[in-house]
Structure 1
Amino acid sequence: MNSKYLMFIAIIFFGTFASGLCNNLTNTFRIISRNEWGAELPRLPPIELKVYPAPFVIITHTLTEHCSNERTCGKLIRGIQDMHMLQIGWNDIAHNFLVGGDGNIYEGRGWNVEGAHTRKFNHRSIAIAFMGDYSETPATQQQLDVVKNFIQYSAQAGKIASNYKLVCQRQAEFTRNPGDILYEIIKTWDHFVPGLVY
């Protein structure tokens, strides 16, 4: 067998294997699109990330009430978007994605779009926000598993860098986000970078 043929077979095999991994992961979560949760249009066209795929994944929380089903989570995320746009004056909801207590991933600004969550990192990260306040309340195991699988899928699909750095918002800004209890859990995850980040 010649080397070109072997290379072709290897590419086909790897592509099929990687595709299978991505498909298996997408079976573990559901992404609720902006259209599905009733998002308002952003005030201005979205700005693409300056660094893509994003080298940072930032975990935060919304410091709101919790939600437990698609109806209450949809209502909550619409309220968060209204607060960010109407009260704070941002272009759109701050985060790229959010996870509800129902175990669904909600599309915020989405992939490859600059957020409004962490100064100095908005142009080179995606932010995933746990909906609720996790200062004293733990996230559910379902939420944690969904976010882990979503991050893994994002890396395998090339949406974030394969060697991404996982940090919490408190490591980049003067804040307690994402809450002490959630922070202690995130610290144990793969790709977590301890200490302050710049």
Structure 2
Amino acid sequence: MSFVHHSSGSHCYTLDDCSAVVRAIQRMHMDSNGWDDIGYNFLVGEDGRVYEGRGWTTLPAHSPVYNYFSHGTCIMGDYMTAAPEEGYIIPDYELFGHRDGRCTDCPGDVLYSIIQTWPHYSFREIPIIC
């Protein structure tokens, strides 16, 4: 099981800019949320790179209850009214939007509509935790 998030923050298009956004998200997760580290397993920038958060083997902190048996990937940027520019995000697993399991607008209306068209998006209903 995997959840797609958006950072609802700054977009980034270069290694330097995306690295700075990852560090800002990490600071926010640690300072504001009180987590040990960034909550996501991976983050994707519009520079075409995947940035490692907690990686594959460390328990994430992206969707309470689901953290124990899922991975969280954050697409950096705000996708409430626009889609990611590169279009390279292709899943090969059971995929959910963050809002499928949590009371949130994440991963943004436009990105959510897009991921629902991907071959492995799951329309299976799962409990929504608020």
Match status 1:73 vs 2:18: yes
RMSD across aligned positions (CA): 1.3
Listed as ranges, the matches of 1:146-161 within 5 Å are 147-148=89-90, 151-152=91-92
Task: Give the corresponding residue for 2:4.
Answer: 59
Percent of matched pairs sharing the same residue: 39
Task: Give the corresponding residue for 1:133.
Answer: 78
Task: Give the corresponding residue for 2:120.
Answer: 191
Task: Give the corresponding residue for 2:108.
Answer: 179
Q: Is the 8 A contact 1:172 1:197 kept in 2?
A: yes
Task: Give the corresponding residue for 1:9.
Answer: none
Listed as ranges, the matches of 1:1-198 within 5 Å are 56-140=1-85, 142=86, 144-145=87-88, 147-148=89-90, 151-152=91-92, 164-194=93-123, 196-198=125-127
Number of residues of Structure 1 aligned to a counterpart in Structure 2: 127
CA distance in 2, matches of 1:195, 1:64: 29
CA distance in 2, matches of 1:108, 1:86: 16
CA distance in 1, matches of 2:112, 2:124: 12
Unaligned ranges ≥5, structure 1: 1-55, 153-163
User: How far is 1:173 from its partner?
Assistant: 0.4
Unaligned ranges ≥5, structure 2: none
Q: Is the 8 A contact 1:171 1:195 kept in 2?
A: no
CA distance in 2, matches of 1:127, 1:60: 7
Task: Give the corresponding residue for 1:18.
Answer: none
- The structure that is helix-richer by fraction is 1
1:162-188: per-residue Cα shift (whole Å, max 9, x none)? xx4210110000001000000000001
Structure 2-normalised TM-score? Answer: 0.92
Question: SS of the counterpart of 2:94?
Answer: strand
Kindly provide the amino acid, as one letter, of the partner of residue 107 in structure 2: P
Structure 1-normalised TM-score? Answer: 0.61
1:76-132: per-residue Cα shift (whole Å, max 9, x none)? 110110110012111110100000010100000001321111111101111111001
CA distance in 1, matches of 2:36, 2:54: 10
